[in-house]
């Protein structure tokens, strides 16, 4: 199942910079590992904001929930999930 997920990051202003750097580094490793497995298909920065738009390819809602809730930045993000399905006019073979 494909999902578009928009994540908007809002770190507390009083978070020590070293702690913020540590969380971001752990987040990066986790996100890159999931991209290598193919579960996190796309990761795009939303220009002009501390937010991303991502495409996940997972088994079901429960798997998406597990992945997203384990993101190190999860406590500091507003997350919006949109379920996707194949468009009948798409010419791509990998849109299912
Ligand atoms: O910077 C972000 O948009 C939050 C994030 C998600 C995966 C990652 O590496 O950073």
Give residue 31 CA to ligand 1 midpoint distance, Å. 7
**Tokens (6 digits) for 88:** 């009948």
Question: Residues in the chain, how many?
Answer: 96
Give residue 96 CA to ligand 1 midpoint distance, Å. 25
Residue 85: what pLDDT? 94
What is the ipTM for the molecules in this complex?
0.97
Ligand 1 atom at minimum distance from 30 CA: 9
Rounded to whole angstroms, the Cα distance separating 96 from 85 reads: 7
| Ranges of each domain in the chain | 2-84
Residue 95: what pLDDT? 81
**Predicted confidence (pLDDT) per residue in 60-72, tens digit:** 999 999 999 999 9
Average pLDDT (19-38) is 98
Global model pTM greater than 0.90: yes
Protein fold of 2-84: Alpha-Beta Plaits (3.30.70)
């Amino acid at each position: 199942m494909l999902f578009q997920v928009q994540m908007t990051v809002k770190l507390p202003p009083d978070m020590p910079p070293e702690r913020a750097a540590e969380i971001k580094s752990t987040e990066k490793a986790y996100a890159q590992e999931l991209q290598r497995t193919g579960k996190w298909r796309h990761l795009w920065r939303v220009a002009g904001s501390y937010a991303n738009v991502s495409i996940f390819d997972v088994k079901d809602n429960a798997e998406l929930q597990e992945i997203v809730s384990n993101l190190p930045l999860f406590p500091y993000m507003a997350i919006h999930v949109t379920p996707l399905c194949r468009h009948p006019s798409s010419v791509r073979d990998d849109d299912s």
